[in-house]
Amino acid sequence: MKKCFWNDQNGSFFPEMALDFMPTEKLRQVQLQRLQATVTHSYNKVPLFRKRMEDLKLKPTDIQQLSDITLLPFSTKKDLRDTYPYQLFAAEMKKIVRLHASSGTTGKPIVVGYTQEDMEVWAQVVKRGLLAAGFSSEDIVQNFYGYGLFTGGLGVHGGLESLGATVIPVSGGNTERQIMIMKDFEVTAIAGTPSYFIRMIDVAEKMGVDLRKLKIKRGLFGAEPWSDGMREYIEKKANIKAFDIYGLSEIIGPGVGSECECQSGIHIFEDHFYPEIIDPETLKSLPDGEEGELVLSTLSKQAMPILRYRTRDITSIETTPCSCGRTIRRIKRIGRRSDDMFIIRGVNVFPSQIEAALLKAEKSLPHYQIILDRKNRLDTIEVKVEISREMLSDNIGDMEALKKRFSHSIEQILGISIMVSLCEPGSLPRSEGKAKRVLDKRQQGATL
């Protein structure tokens, strides 16, 4: 069968794939029309947005071209907290068919709502992501993103159903049962957080199950940063292709963007979500290719349109076209957020740098946890690294040398030395959803 853009691997026809390949000029027209409609909708229905526009002496009709988006005010997570639970909704409650919530790090959750139309767009964008990653209607897919208020489980589920794949809605948890299902149900594709899958790799090994011999061919991983090293590890240990899917509750959930078979960055579904990059300090727009904070605007959301939302995710917009032929732009995979940085002895440190150093030292990523504390009014940092069974040795000298390799690698990347301690296999806490790599004891005030 002749390969066509809008066919999946089995030749089934998916016309929505054409949206990924729209001529750029047409795409920009669609974006402008939708941006104007979204600004008008928000201005008429959301008091907070209207007030901010009035403060800036702006009217929806001032948005004449796409670049006028920079005239609009930013929105932030704080806006969602301040308007808890429903004051950012732009549709009547009777039109809202779904609520999700994200707990975040402090206090009250943020609440997001969807109309039936929003649900259809959500399923469509996730489906386009699945198709781009080579999933097909014939796949049997184990979805181990958490089901519930988190957007991961049900969001990916909607896309899988729309694709016509067989979904196993297993959610997170009960790792041994997950492995049993993978094997017995002849699963051909998986979706979940990369850190939880890495844990499954360990558990499968303990159970004597060789994941490489199962029928799984591909996985769609996201909801947290995962490095190229982690990708290599997953692909090798399970003999699958691992693709990145990105999203956030405030914008829609999973499916804001996704990787294609070229695995060279995340294509943003630009006909629904408009990306910009800004300098997080000056808030000025940055040109394509420059690294900064990703700002997203929804272009079709009805229940909760959001304009110029500051994601805190650091990335850049790719300047070269992807060899897959998609015209929708790509962003670089996201390794860090502007708010996960901490400062130790004057040096800016991102958890992703520590992860890169550990990976470099041992070529495979060990479980680790970064512990921040405060002693005598000084911030301290300790990296606890769990020894894998392969690294374990009875010889104290070997263990000392291993520890040195880790500290040395960290020092090379950060330029400062950091305390590293080794701990026994299986002793660090594991997560069945997003990994929690940093334990910040400073706020607890116990060791002031």
Closest among 129, 172, 108, 174 to 8, alpha carbons compared: 129
Q: Which residue is nearest to ligand DLL (CB)?
A: 222
Sheet holding 253-259, edge to edge: 166-168, 140-143, 189-192, 218-222, 241-248, 253-259, 266-268, 330-331
CB 431 → ligand DLL: shortest distance, Å? Answer: 13
Is the CB of 102 or the CB of 166 nearer to ligand DLL? 102
Is the CB of 219 or the CB of 247 nearer to ligand DLL? 247
Strand 96-102, strand 110-115: pairing: antiparallel
Place of tokens 């704080």: 78
Is the CB of 145 or the CB of 233 nearer to ligand DLL? 145
Is the CB of 224 or the CB of 373 nearer to ligand DLL? 224
CB 224 → ligand DLL: shortest distance, Å? Answer: 5
Residues that bind ligand DLL (CB under 6 A): 102, 145, 151-152, 222-225, 244-249, 253-254, 311, 313, 334, 337
CB 390 → ligand DLL: shortest distance, Å? Answer: 28
- 120 and 153 in contact (C-beta within 8 Å)? no
CB 130 → ligand DLL: shortest distance, Å? Answer: 12
CB 115 → ligand DLL: shortest distance, Å? Answer: 19
Is the CB of 223 or the CB of 278 nearer to ligand DLL? 223
CB 44 → ligand DLL: shortest distance, Å? Answer: 27
Is the CB of 350 or the CB of 406 nearer to ligand DLL? 350
Residues in contact with 387: Cβ distance below 8 Å, sequence separation at least 6, in sequence order: 366, 399, 402, 422, 423, 424, 425
CB 188 → ligand DLL: shortest distance, Å? Answer: 19
CB 306 → ligand DLL: shortest distance, Å? Answer: 12
Is the CB of 224 or the CB of 440 nearer to ligand DLL? 224
Distance CA 20, CA 327 (A): 6
Is the CB of 130 or the CB of 402 nearer to ligand DLL? 130
Q: Is 48 helix (H, G, I), strand (E, B) or coil?
A: helix
Is the CB of 125 or the CB of 418 nearer to ligand DLL? 125
Helix axes 24-45, 47-55, angle to 10 degrees: 100
Angle at 197 between CA 315 and CA 255, to 5 degrees: 45
CB 254 → ligand DLL: shortest distance, Å? Answer: 4
Residues in contact with 266: Cβ distance below 8 Å, sequence separation at least 6, in sequence order: 244, 245, 246, 257, 258, 259, 330, 331, 332, 333, 334
Q: Which residue pairs from 98-103 have beta carbons closer than 8 angstroms and sit at least 24 positions apart in sequence?
A: 98/154, 99/149, 100/149, 100/150, 100/151, 100/154, 100/249, 100/253, 101/149, 101/249, 102/149, 102/150, 102/151, 102/249, 102/250, 103/149
CB 355 → ligand DLL: shortest distance, Å? Answer: 12
Is the CB of 39 or the CB of 133 nearer to ligand DLL? 133
3-state per-residue secondary structure call for 92-128: CHHHEEEEEEECCCCCCCEEEEEEHHHHHHHHHHHHH
Closest among 247, 151, 129 to 141, alpha carbons compared: 129
